């Protein structure tokens, strides 16, 4: 096995998993309701909190469907078990993890958003996403907040693992203050990830 490590600058949108090739700010589009939706699969353990206990609705204002604020409703939507609602995107960045969910009757407008609560100590879950060849891509996301490390509302640990047919990649989002210990030129306004490839 070959192990290689390198650092990447991330775009402003962060790391986006989608059921189409649309940018985060462009979702939803017609294709969002044609392609198969994403699915979230919790991975509860003795160490990790169950994902269902760690998500909350982002307050989007007056247009948000009041029904969507009910916990049982948005959890069903997140897991792909609520007819009409589809998980169309997951955004991972240095400020946390966000889930974008849209209703099939509102192709070009209404969508709802969930996020991981900043009070979350540690949680882990899988994302299943359709690929262009019809297979299913799988990603594992691990996130944790702890004010003992950083009290700025950002996660202290955030990792995305991509699984490919013959290798896997870990993308570890790094808090800029930790990186500056290694490199004084690190820009606090940019987003960095350390990538580890296992081939």
Domain-by-domain residue ranges, the chain?
A: 3-198
Closest CA to 119 of 187, 182, 56, 29: 56
* Res 126: pLDDT: 93
d(CA 141, CA 184): 29
* Res 3: pLDDT: 92
* Res 173: pLDDT: 84
- Residues in the chain predicted with pLDDT less than 70, given as ranges, are 46-47, 59-65, 106-110, 133-134, 146-154, 175-190
Closest CA to 145 of 136, 156, 135, 134: 156
List 159's β-bridge partners, or say none.
Answer: 142, 172
* Res 70: pLDDT: 82
* Res 164: pLDDT: 86
Closest CA to 63 of 9, 103, 123, 12: 103
* Res 149: pLDDT: 54
* Res 179: pLDDT: 52
* Res 64: pLDDT: 62
């Amino acid at each position: 096995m070959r192990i290689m490590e390198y650092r990447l600058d991330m775009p402003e949108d962060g790391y986006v998993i989608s059921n189409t090739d649309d940018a985060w700010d462009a979702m939803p589009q017609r294709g969002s309701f044609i392609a198969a939706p994403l699915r979230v699969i919790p991975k509860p353990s003795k160490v990790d909190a169950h994902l269902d206990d760690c998500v909350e609705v982002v307050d989007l204002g007056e247009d948000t469907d009041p029904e969507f604020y009910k916990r049982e409703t948005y959890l069903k939507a997140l897991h792909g078990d609520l007819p009409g609602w589809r998980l169309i995107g997951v955004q991972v960045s240095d400020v946390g993890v966000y889930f974008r969910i849209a209703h099939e009757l509102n192709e070009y407008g209404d969508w709802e958003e969930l996020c991981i609560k900043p009070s979350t100590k540690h949680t882990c879950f899988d994302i299943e996403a359709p690929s262009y060849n019809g297979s299913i891509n799988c990603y594992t996301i691990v996130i944790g907040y702890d004010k003992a490390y950083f009290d700025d509302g950002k996660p202290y640990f955030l990792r995305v693992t991509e699984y490919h047919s013959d290798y896997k990649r870990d993308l570890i989002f790094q808090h800029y203050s930790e990186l500056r210990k290694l490199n004084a030129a690190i820009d606090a306004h940019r987003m960095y990830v350390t990538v580890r490839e296992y081939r």
